[in-house]
Amino acid sequence: MKFGVYVPCLVVACVATLAFGELFSSMAHLETALYAERDIAVAIKDYIHEEEKRLDKLRKIANDFSEHSSKALASDKNLLANPINAYLYMKRFTLDWDKEVAPNFQSDPDSDVHKKIEELKGYLPTYQDLKGAVTALLRLQDTYKLDTNHLAQGRIRSMMANSMSANDCFEIGKLAYQSEDFYHTAMWMQASLEKEEEEKNKTVPRSLVLDYLSYASLMQGDVERALLLTNELLTILPHHTRSQNNRKYYEKLLEEQRRKQHRRGEDGEEPEAKEETNQFTERPLDDYRKSEEFQTYESLCRGEDTHNYKLKHKLKCRYVNKNNPRLLLKPAKEEEVYLNPWIVVYHDVVSDKEIETIKKIATPKLDRATVHNPRTGKLETAEYRVSKSAWLKDSDDPVIHNVNNRISDITGLSMESAEELQIANYGLGGQYEPHFDFARKEETSAFRDLGSGNRIATWLTYMTDVDAGGATVFTSIGVKLFPIKGAAAFWYNLYRNGDGIFDTRHAACPVLVGQKWVSNKWIHERGQEFRRPCSINMDE
Ligand SMILES: O=C(O)CCC(=O)C(=O)O
Ligand SMILES: [Fe+2]
């Protein structure tokens, strides 16, 4: 019995011990588990917090995209017609997208949202476009002498675009740096530094900008500045090895320069000219761009007077009807802009409705960006959007037919040997450097295939006003024509004996803001034998 009692007791005790022991350890586990549970809650909350931040970012980006697009689509002004906005827009879908948008998508690549975005991204600007936009912006900055800080504030003349961040300026500088253009690198890195100073939420590390700027300064021959900037960089990143080495190198260079100066002084020579150390601070120009003609072209584009001709009192405006019944009903409004060579502008020669029709027909035919290179005489694929063009036949639409007839009525010239109407669309920075429209004697092959002789005259219709830039300028006489929608310029390219009139050399200035549509009608010699009207000029 005892045994009987004992045994179960023992068993109970054992069981009890076991049970208590287990209970004890489970309690301990439980406590750990409770802590774990608490920590899991924290982790989930952290995760939610991070996800919310991610979603907040995405929400902000989506709101920003829809706000920008609806504003741009609702506005009758094309916001992207401003080169600053165009750059920021290209940057948004390239650099900013890769850095700020893409990392915020975590869903699986087969998800609907991914597929949709991938599909739509095909319509968005690419890195190639970004590079093009920066090239255009820098070219415009040079031609129109635009101040970097004004541009960074979003200002072009009196027009306002979006303001740039330090990062926006930095990326322009970086693209310039990648094409070894240290002149623009230095300008834009400097602008970036100034922006960075003002920024509450920094968009670029100051040390990074200093790094580029000091190198660009060195490449421009300004060692002193390179050292100064490197010293500042080292106050931010004291252990930056490359900069430590640069510092030593710059100090050595400066020391050598000083010694050289000193020696020169002792030898009684003039101290070294400042240009020698600052030899790269000028805008880098090839030989053609250094030429007087190119300088005149750019001055005229900026609206400056280069030739100071005083013809104003001699120039006339008149109604022209040429005894043509159609013109008797609606005479042409002729405004003289130059007498020798004779250049006139006819106002209101095409209506807004006709222009819309012409643009619509031309748009799907617009060719790649090509430019007639005046130095090689060839049509070349050129830098970003110089101009795109399309040729329209009379048979394409009654409007084309009517427009050609009107040109014939007003000029009194036959269209039988004229080229098809050429429609050109210039985008931002779009230009056409100084050239003649006629073929020179040495260009024997030009127009030979046409069998219609040389281009006797040019008719150039402006199909848009251009917000800024985009003038047609005559570089050897200093005439500038700013596009007026619906007006057309007309001039003869050849004297009566068929020789070219060299003073008709002209160019299309880069479009600064807006876009420019023109249509060209080149009228040839054949068929004009009895039509070319008496000239005002005896020497024609
Ligand atoms: O677009 C202009 O202003 C001039 C165009 C031109 O000269 C040309 O196409 O030959
Ligand atoms: Fe031309």
Tens of pLDDT along 472-481?
Answer: 999 999 999 9
Phi first, then psi: what are they for 57, rounded to 5°?
-60, -45
Ligand 1 and 520: CB distance under 6 A: yes
Higher-pLDDT residue of 106 and 181 is: 181
Question: d(Cα 375, Cα 498) in Å, to the nearest integer?
Answer: 23
- Measured from the Cα of 481, ligand 1's closest atom is 3
269-274: average pLDDT: 56
Q: Would you say residue 392 lies in a domain?
A: yes
pLDDT tens digits for 365-382?
A: 887 655 555 555 555 544
**Boundary residue ending a domain (74, 109, 135):** 74
Helix (H, G, I), strand (E, B) or coil at 507: strand
d(CA 129, CA 131): 5
Statement: residue 245 has pLDDT above 70: yes
pLDDT of residue 521: 96
Contact 519, 488 (CB under 8 A): no
231 in the same domain as 194: yes
Q: How far is the CA of 507 from the centre of ligand 1 (A)?
A: 6
**460, 479, 504, 509, best to mutate for ligand 1 pocket (most atoms within 8 Å of CB):** 460
Q: Is residue 533 part of a domain?
A: no
As a whole number, mean pLDDT of residues 79-108 equals 88
pLDDT at 384: 36
**Predicted local confidence at residue 339, as pLDDT:** 93
Confidence tier at 445 by pLDDT (50, 70, 90): low
State if residue 361 touches ligand 1 by the CB under 6 angstroms criterion. no
Helix or strand or coil: residue 349? coil
**The whole model's pTM is what?**
0.83
Question: Measured from the CB, is residue 306 less than 6 Å from ligand 1?
Answer: no
Tell me, yes or no, whether 284 lies in a domain: no
What is the domain-level CATH number for residue 355? Answer: 2.60.120.620
- Pick the range with the lowest mean pLDDT from 93-107, 204-218, 360-374, 400-414: 360-374
pLDDT at res. 310: 77
Ligand 1 atom nearest the C-alpha of 509 is: 3
Query: How many C-beta atoms lie closer than 10 Å to residue 379's C-beta?
Result: 12
Tokens of 313: 């009192």
Q: Is the pLDDT of residue 3 over 50?
A: no
Residue 386 counted as domain residue:
yes
| Spacing, Cα 472 to ligand 1 middle (Å) | 7
Residue 497 is assigned to a structural domain of this protein: yes
Residue 22 has pLDDT above 80, yes or no: no
Q: Whole-number mean pLDDT of the chain?
A: 87
Residue closest by Cα to atom 2 of ligand 1: 508
Q: What confidence score (pLDDT) does residue 21 get?
A: 55
| pLDDT tens digits, 144-158 | 999 999 999 999 998
Residues 235 and 242: their CA atoms lie apart, in Å, by 14
Q: State if residue 437 touches ligand 1 by the CB under 6 angstroms criterion.
A: yes
- Please indicate, yes or no, whether residues 86 and 219 belong to a single structural domain of this protein: yes
CA of 15 to the centre of ligand 1 (A): 104
Residues 427 and 315 placed together within one structural domain of the fold: yes
User: Would residue 537 count as lying in a domain?
Assistant: no
Residue nearest to atom 10 of ligand 1 (CA): 437
- pLDDT for 276 equals 44
Q: pLDDT at position 68, please?
A: 87
- Domain-located, residue 539: no
Same domain assignment for residues 145 and 229: yes
Instruction: Give 324: exposed, middle or buried? Use CB within 10 Å, 0-12, 13-18, 19+.
Output: middle
455 lines ligand 1 (CB under 6 A): no
| 273, 308: one domain | no
**Are 5 and 135 within one domain?**
no
Same-domain check for residues 185 and 239: yes
Q: Which ligand minimizes its atom distance to the CA of 423?
A: 1
**CA of 516, closest atom in ligand 1:** 1
Predicted ipTM? 0.99
* Ligand 1 atom at minimal distance to the Cα of residue 522: 10
* 309 shares its domain with 220: no
425 - beta bridge partners? 388, 517
Residues 342 and 479 in one domain: yes
When comparing pLDDT for 466 and 108, which is higher?
Answer: 466
Round to whole Å and give the CA distance between 324 and 1.
143
Do 219 and 326 reside in the same domain of the chain?
no
For ligand 1, say whether the CB of 432 is within 6 Å of any of its atoms: yes
Dist. CA 538 → ligand 2 center (Å): 25
Indicate the pLDDT class of residue 303, thresholds 50, 70 and 90: very high
Residue 476: per-residue pLDDT: 96
Q: Average of pLDDT values for 414-420?
A: 91
Last residue of a domain, one of 219, 244, 277: 277
> Pick from 24, 3, 13, 105: which is nearest to 57 by CA?
105
Most confident of 113-117, 288-292, 309-313, 462-466: 462-466
Predicted local confidence at residue 475, as pLDDT: 97
Residues 421 and 355: their CA atoms lie apart, in Å, by 13
Looking at residue 393, its pLDDT comes to 93
Q: Is the dihedral of CA 322, 324, 328, 329 positive or negative?
A: negative
Measure the CA–CA gap between 239 and 506, rounded to whole angstroms.
57
- Tell me which residue range forms the domain holding 496: 293-524
Total count of domains within the chain: 3
Pure H helices in 363-421: 398-411
Is 529 inside a domain boundary?
A: no
